[in-house]
Amino acid sequence: TAGPLATVPDPVDRTLGGLLSPDFDESSCLSRYRASLYRRPSPHAISSYLISALRRYESLHRRCGPGTPAYVDAVERLRAPPNASTSSTSGCSYIVWTPIEGLGNRILSITSGFLYALLTGRVLLLHSSGGALDDLFCEPFPGSTWILPATDKDNFPIRDMEQLGVGHHESLGSALRRGGGEGEGPTSLQLQAPWLYVHLVNNYDAQDRLFFCDDVHGELLRRVPWLVFKSDNYFLPGLFLIPRYEHELARLFPRRDLAFHHLGRYLFHPSNTVWDMVTRYHGSYLASADERVGIQVRVFGWAPISTDELYGQILDCTQREGILPVPTTSVSDEHGQAQQAKQVAVLVVSLHGEYSEKLRDLYKNGSTTGGEAVSVYQPTHLGEQRSGEQRHNQQALAEMVLLGFSDAVVTTAASTFGYVGQGLAGLRPWVLVGPVDGKAPATPCRRAPTIEPCFHAPPNYDCRARASGETGKKCELSKGTLILAGRRFVH
């Protein structure tokens, strides 16, 4: 397990068992075929159906993506007068992602949008608002781009995507409100809009939530060539609630709790700049260890806890669960023992530096009851979230990727940053349970039941009864309000 092998991985490994297309130029994105040298091999099988669906999607993207005649035609139709036919001759339709919140949220909403594209035959394009995606990820689809071409004033007919929000005139929710009166279902609507905005943010309203109802997809959305969406959620599990996709989803993901693990490794390859940050850090501090433990510490404003209290919780968790060795207070007197000792590298990722400092202090005399040598590292402690800055996001991505190289991970409840790390690693993390009245809870951490991220704001709407209804199973690791996935979720 000591760092990357010197050789280039064999063709099966480099494409992660066929998950990745072999058709890329290696040098344009070093991480794509090399990450498998650093990560533990995934024990989780990929369905051959998913592999062929990805290859089919890639050719669709190549045919319909930016720069193609089909794309030019589809953009032209967006400019057409209101009552003109908006259906394209090429049969290409699109779903456009726009960024909100931090990188973890963004990665999870892109993944959700990608699965929606896969299910509906749409092409996923990302609006790199304010350069949000510059030099961050490689292109995931061969021979094309997933970046929506510059949307400055005269280029792209859907303007000011940053302004889209709840209640926007062009939103699905507003369209449903206009078209269907009380008691009428959305099927009564005849929608000919050239584009529609889908609001899947935490504050979405009752009408927006109808996105997770079957009839909306058949009668309405299928006819709209361009959808734009915004989300701070891993809404992918909600797609499992829609009956028309059930059969296809079961073939794509015989184990639905592996959706992010597979799609995340398929979509998100750090750019060469970020990969350089990752490999340098790994090479300097982590490569020679026998075991790597990743600890992700996130402090949320809505769940305040003091540094000492949280540090105590981390210690309690890692000792109780045997994640970190037990330090001894005496200095080791057995000379030479350190050379044979098992080397454990602890990677702490956090905006704050105190936790790794305290842990480093704890192990500073180098002695543990099991004779392990523990070293503690933290790449950055940036103090505060600045998701508008390129360098900041590059560092965040580098740390998520490094977390994904761990042999065991501890994450913070409800952190999407943590979800990405655990998903890339393919590990069920130990989750630091959220504080109770500012104090660490009696059970400091619990093993997550799955590696799949939580869907924090599920629709909680029963489409058949047209009434509120529970649509999720609780994650139970934070304040008891997190939802793991759709109703039919099976571990």
User: Where on the chain is the footprint of ligand GDP (CB under 6 A)?
Assistant: 101-105, 298, 349-351, 380, 382, 385, 387, 392, 395-396, 399, 415-417
Whichever of 216 and 398 has its CB closer to ligand GDP, that residue is: 398
* Closest distance of CB 187 from ligand GDP, Å: 36
How far is 452 from 426, CA to CA, in rounded Å?
9
Token readout for 138 is 């490689």
Amino acid at the residue 363: Y
* Closest distance of CB 443 from ligand GDP, Å: 21
Whichever of 256 and 352 has its CB closer to ligand GDP, that residue is: 352
Which pairs count as long-range contacts for 428-433, CB under 8 Å and 24+ apart, including other chains? Answer: 430/317, 430/318, 430/321, 430/323, 431/477, 432/297, 432/310, 432/313, 432/314, 432/317, 433/477, 433/478
* Closest distance of CB 265 from ligand GDP, Å: 18
Alpha carbon dihedral 343, 362, 448, 382, in 10-degree steps, equals -100
Residue nearest to ligand GDP (CB): 102
Query: Residue 439 gets which letter from DSSP?
Result: B
Terminal Cα-to-Cα distance of the chain (whole angstroms):
29
How far is 105 from 109, CA to CA, in rounded Å?
6
Whichever of 109 and 144 has its CB closer to ligand GDP, that residue is: 109
Going through 100-240 in order, the beta strands assigned E by DSSP cover 123-126, 195-200, 226-231
Whichever of 114 and 417 has its CB closer to ligand GDP, that residue is: 417
Whichever of 33 and 234 has its CB closer to ligand GDP, that residue is: 234
Closest CA to 313 of 298, 328, 330: 298
* Closest distance of CB 402 from ligand GDP, Å: 10
Whichever of 249 and 401 has its CB closer to ligand GDP, that residue is: 401
* Closest distance of CB 31 from ligand GDP, Å: 17
* Closest distance of CB 116 from ligand GDP, Å: 20
Q: What are the φ and ψ backbone dihedral angles of 466, each rounded to 5 degrees?
A: 50, 50
Residue whose entry in the numeric block shows the structure tokens 């290409």:
92
SS (H, E, C) 54-97: HHHHHHHHHHHCCCCHHHHHHHHHHCCCCCCCCCCCCCCCEEEE
* Closest distance of CB 481 from ligand GDP, Å: 15
Whichever of 327 and 421 has its CB closer to ligand GDP, that residue is: 421
Whichever of 204 and 461 has its CB closer to ligand GDP, that residue is: 204
How far is 217 from 147, CA to CA, in rounded Å?
25
Burial track 177-203 (b if 16+ CB lie within 10 A, e otherwise):
eeebeeeeebeebebebbbbbbbbbee
Report the half-sphere exposure of 346 (CA within 13 A, side-chain side): 27
* Closest distance of CB 171 from ligand GDP, Å: 23
Whichever of 37 and 299 has its CB closer to ligand GDP, that residue is: 299
* Closest distance of CB 298 from ligand GDP, Å: 5
